[in-house]
Amino acid sequence: MLDGLEQAGIAGLEPRDAPGIDPALLELVHPSTLVDHVLAPMGDDERRWIDGDTVMSAGSAEAALRAAGAVCDAIDSVMAGDVDNAFCAVRPPGHHAEPGRAMGFCLFNNVAVGALYARETYGLGRIAVVDFDVHHGNGTQAAFESDGDLFYASTHQWPLYPGTGAAGETGVGNICNVPLAPGSGSRAFRRAMSETVLPALEAFRPDMILLSAGFDAHNDDPLAGLEFRTEDYGWVTAQLVRIAEGLCGGRMVSALEGGYDLQALADSVVAHVGALAGADPA
C-alpha cells in the first residue's frame, strides 16, 4: 500500500508517522477494563487470543495505540488547517471493536475514538462516519446508536460477519445501513450511496466526516464477494469530498479498515487518496 502511494506520486501527499495515543483518550469509547486488558504487557513470544479471529502478539498494543493515535493526530491537523484532509494507513482496523469488546481483527475502535475526540477537543457538534468496508461496523454502530449527534452509515455485504447491519437497525434515527447481496457489484454500490447514504449524510449536516475505508469489497479480495472495482473507491471518495466541502469546510479524515488482497488494496488506496487530493476519479 505504501509502495503504491509512493509510486503514484500524488501531488500534495505528505507522509507522517503515526503517534501513539494517550490511553486515557481510548476511554472516550472503551471502558478502562478493556483498555487495560488489551494493553497488558506480553512476552516476546507470547500470543493472546481475543476471539477466534483475533490474536495479539507483543507488538500489537503499540500498533493499536498508533492506529487510534493516527486518527486523532489527523483530526488535529485538519482542524488546525495544516492539511485539507487525511488518510490514516493503519492496522489493526477498528470498526468491529465495540465499546466493551475487542473482536474481528479490531482492538480499539479508531474512528469512534476519533469522533468523540473531535467533539470533546474541538466542540464539534455533529460527527459522521461513513463505512464502505465489506463488513458491517458493528462496533461503531454500538458506540453511536443512542447519540443523535453522531451519525453512522454503512454499505456492506449481507449476510456476512458479524451478522449486524440490517436496514431496520436505525438507532435513534442516526444509523443508516444498506446491506448488499453477494455479487452486487459497482452499480448496486453506487446506487446505494447515491440514493440512500449520501442524502442521509447531507441531511445530517455534519461538522466533520470520518471514513471507515475498507477495501475488502474489491472483486479480487478473498474475504467476501461484493465485486467492487478499484474505480468505485475513487468515485465514492470524490462524492464524499464534495459533500464535506459543501457542509463542513472539507474536514474529512479517513482510516483504513479491511483489505486483504495486497495488489487490490494498493490500487484501491491509490484511487482513494488520489480522490482525497482532488484528482478526478476514473
Q: Which three cell numbers stand for residue 75?
A: 483530526
Nearest alpha-carbon partner for 96 in 88, 86, 108, 85: 108
Give catalytic residue positions: 96
Antiparallel, parallel or unpaired: β 55-56 and 48-49? antiparallel
Q: Beta strand pairing status for 150-157 and 175-180?
A: parallel
Q: Which residues of 31-44 are buried (b: 16+ CB within 10 A; e: fewer)?
A: eeebbeebbeeeee
* Count of other CB atoms within 10 angstroms of residue 8: 18
| Region for residue 220 given its phi and psi (left: phi exceeds 0; alpha: psi -120 to 50; beta: otherwise) | alpha
- CB within 8 Å of 188: residues ≥ 6 apart: 180, 181
Closest by Cα among 132, 124, 146 to 190: 132
Question: Cα separation of 233 and 213, whole Å?
Answer: 9
